[in-house]
């Protein structure tokens, strides 16, 4: 139906329009149907002219959507345990807001600082030489050492910015970097340090991941361990690392974070070789999760492995994700790939092999979750490269600044953090949906904390 805003439309013009509508209604059969509230008369015909009020009585105002909301794009993750990161590489600082953390859990800056130190720049010769302590400060959500259940604000200041290093890059785009696509999307960008596309954004993720790790460890004894399994062409052979006995000390025993000393030396040498040439290499991080509660994840769109893939692939420089047997499973037959079930000494259903990677049908089965994440070589290198300027002029660029020759050693705690954020969110979802009423003890295991604290009220 067409509506006029003023009185200038005369009646004849208006009813010509109405006649057009009558013709349309008659063709579709609407004219012969009763309208809501009309008297029941099978022989009656509907006069549509009477349905329209005079044009002088019509008053139209712009519709105002009082409840219209625009969700901020791309900086928030989670449904129950929600994390929003903020800040830029050369701004005043970076950090996160954590919403949905359970109350009455002991928490301090030291719980977060350990992983932030593993992530920070300048920690060895194979990482960026930028010097930042990345000392975090909890500004809200914790009182007298306990979480209050309200949003937790974590802030880390930037102290070693060098904006002048980005003079050339403010004009010319770095090949394979987000410089160009940020301009294409927003029409403006923060040039110094790469803004939000900088890996410095991951400080907020790692800080939030520290909280998530503590919840998972305290509630279910869940352990999340990641390590470097490939640097360039140096690939850790399958079976060298025992995922049942792997420890954090083994991973942290060298600067590349590979638990095998022999392979670690080769990986470090590979990074050193490209570093002195002003080039970079990529690699692969393997992540395992032990003591995962059963039942995490949902069928169809919210499968656990799908959530994990989205989370880790959102990290900077990621280019690939494998879960369980991954692409190698495509070379097997069903009889070779299937994980056969058995009952262990405690009467629990287990699998003899773990090609499923601890998840079947999108739901955790209690076995070790394992995945692999591929990272590309760092985009910003000091070798001369062909590119274009923001004015679309072809040119050459030799990038300056302080950048990692290989990102994977510092990305290990980033992967762990994203996996932790997924699992704690899924744990809360499982508890909320499937454990409000008594569980089916023949098929389910209750979600109960494995600890009791004497000094924390429950």
- Each of the 458 residues of the chain gets a pLDDT tens digit; together they read 444 444 444 444 443 444 444 344 344 444 444 434 444 444 444 454 444 445 555 555 656 555 655 555 789 999 999 999 999 877 789 999 999 999 999 999 999 999 999 998 888 889 887 778 889 999 999 999 999 999 999 999 988 766 566 667 678 888 988 888 888 988 887 776 667 878 889 999 999 999 999 999 999 999 999 999 999 999 999 999 999 999 999 999 999 999 999 999 999 999 999 999 999 999 999 999 999 999 999 999 999 999 999 999 999 999 999 999 999 999 999 999 999 999 999 999 999 999 999 999 999 999 999 999 999 999 988 899 999 999 999 999 888 777 889 999 999 999 999 999 999 999 999 999 998 898 898 899 888 777 535 344 33
Q: Any residues with CB less than 8 A from the CB of 433 and at least 6 apart, and which? A: none
Question: Could you give the CA distance from residue 179 to residue 169 in angstroms, rounded to a whole number?
Answer: 9
* pTM of the predicted model as reported, rounded to 2 decimal places: 0.81
Q: pLDDT at position 341, please? A: 97
* pLDDT the model gives residue 242: 97
Q: Do 379 and 176 contact (CB within 8 A), yes or no?
A: yes
Report the pLDDT value the prediction gives residue 67, as an integer from 0 to 100. 62
Predicted confidence at residue 59, as pLDDT, reads 53
**What phi and psi, each to the nearest 5 degrees, are found at residue 323?**
-130, 135
* Spatial contact of 436 and 206, defined as CB atoms under 8 Å apart: no
Q: How far apart are CA 236 and CA 257, in angstroms?
A: 12
Using CA atoms, how far apart are residues 125 and 295, in angstroms rounded to an integer? 43
Position 350 scores a pLDDT of 97
pLDDT for position 286: 98
In 3D space, the residue among 319, 301, 75, 118 whose CA is nearest the CA of residue 213 turns out to be: 118
Whole-number pLDDT of residue 161: 65
Contacts 24+ apart (CB under 8 A), 256-261: 256/126, 256/228, 256/231, 256/408, 256/409, 257/227, 257/228, 257/408, 257/409, 257/412, 258/227, 258/228, 258/229, 258/231, 259/227, 260/236
């Amino acid at each position: 139906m067409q509506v006029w805003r003023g009185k200038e439309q005369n009646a004849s013009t208006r009813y010509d329009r109405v006649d057009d509508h009558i013709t349309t209604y008659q063709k579709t059969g609407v004219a012969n149907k009763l309208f809501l509230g009309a008297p029941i008369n099978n022989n009656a015909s509907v006069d549509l002219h009477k349905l329209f009020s005079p044009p002088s009585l019509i008053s139209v105002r712009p519709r105002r959507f009082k409840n219209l909301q625009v969700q901020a794009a791309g900086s928030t993750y989670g449904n129950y345990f929600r994390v929003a990161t903020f800040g830029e590489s050369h701004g005043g600082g970076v950090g996160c807001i954590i919403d949905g953390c359970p109350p009455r859990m002991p928490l301090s800056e030291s719980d977060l600082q350990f992983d932030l130190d593993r992530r920070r720049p300048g920690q060895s010769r194979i990482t960026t030489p930028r010097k930042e302590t990345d000392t975090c400060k909890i500004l809200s959500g914790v009182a007298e050492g306990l979480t209050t259940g309200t949003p937790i604000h974590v802030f880390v200041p930037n102290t070693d910015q060098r904006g002048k290093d980005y003079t050339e890059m403010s004009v010319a785009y770095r090949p394979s970097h987000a410089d160009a696509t940020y301009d294409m999307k927003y029409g403006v960008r923060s040039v110094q340090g790469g803004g939000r596309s900088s890996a410095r954004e991951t400080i907020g993720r790692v800080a939030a991941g520290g909280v998530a790790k503590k919840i998972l460890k305290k509630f279910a004894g869940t352990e999340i361990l990641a390590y470097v399994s490939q640097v360039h062409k140096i690939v850790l052979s399958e079976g060298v690392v025992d995922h049942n006995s792997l420890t954090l000390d083994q991973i942290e025993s060298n600067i590349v974070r590979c638990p095998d000393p022999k392979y670690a030396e080769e990986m470090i040498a590979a990074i050193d070789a490209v570093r002195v040439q002003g080039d970079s290499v990529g690699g692969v991080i393997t992540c395992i999760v032990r003591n995962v509660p059963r039942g995490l994840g949902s069928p169809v769109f919210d499968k656990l492995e799908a959530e994990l893939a989205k989370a880790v692939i959102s990290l900077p420089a990621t280019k690939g994700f494998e879960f369980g047997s991954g692409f190698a499973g495509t070379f097997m037959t069903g009889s070779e790939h299937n994980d056969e079930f058995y009952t262990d000494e405690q009467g629990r259903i287990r699998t003899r092999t773990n090609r499923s990677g601890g998840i079947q049908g999108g739901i955790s089965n209690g076995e070790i979750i394992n995945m692999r994440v591929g990272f590309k070589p760092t985009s910003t290198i000091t070798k001369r490269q062909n590119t274009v300027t923001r004015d679309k002029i072809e040119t050459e660029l030799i990038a300056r600044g302080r950048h990692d020759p290989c990102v994977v050693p510092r990305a290990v705690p980033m992967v762990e953090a994203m996996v932790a954020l997924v699992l704690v969110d899924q744990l809360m979802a499982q508890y909320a949906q499937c454990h409000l009423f008594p569980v089916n003890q023949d098929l389910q295991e209750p979600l109960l904390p494995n600890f009791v604290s004497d000094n924390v009220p429950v």
